[in-house]
Amino acid sequence: MAPKKRHWFWNLILVITIILCLSVLIMHYKNWVKTAPDHFQIISGFYVEKVPYSDLDSVVFVDRIPPMLRLNGFSALEKEKGIFQEFQDSLTDKEIHVFVDNISQPKIKLVYKDSIKLYFNLKDSIETVNIFNDLKGKLQVDPPN
């Protein structure tokens, strides 16, 4: 009795699934940072956040992110990525974007458009510090009255 051969369609579906899973893993592997003269953009897989320099309110380093409820995203090993919501802000539905590549390192907390928060860092702490210094320099301070 000859062994049954698998249909080519299921082989194709298997290969496409493996390629799709690998591409999603590569997209979320690290945070991709792009700077332009008028805005800062951070990309991590499906998540993209664009922050105009003119909308920046504050840029600070924090050791830990506050406890939050995950609306969508994931946590794996040292990574924490997605859209979250603070426990104390659960009634206002304010979303917080988190793009953390290394949870044990300090994170940059951006506040822009008066109340939108973004926490992020990169695998390399020196690159994180360089981005922090660049953002601090771009932060427009209102002149005193």
In the chain, what are the domains? 31-138 (2.30.29)
The pLDDT tens digits of the residues spanning 96-115 come to 999 999 999 999 999 998 88
Low-confidence ranges of the chain (pLDDT < 50): 142-145
The rounded percent of the chain whose pLDDT value lies above 70 is 90
pTM assigned to the model:
0.80
* 3-state DSSP helix/strand/coil % of the chain, to nearest 5: 25, 40, 35
State the Cα torsion 99-96-77-32 to the nearest 10°.
-10
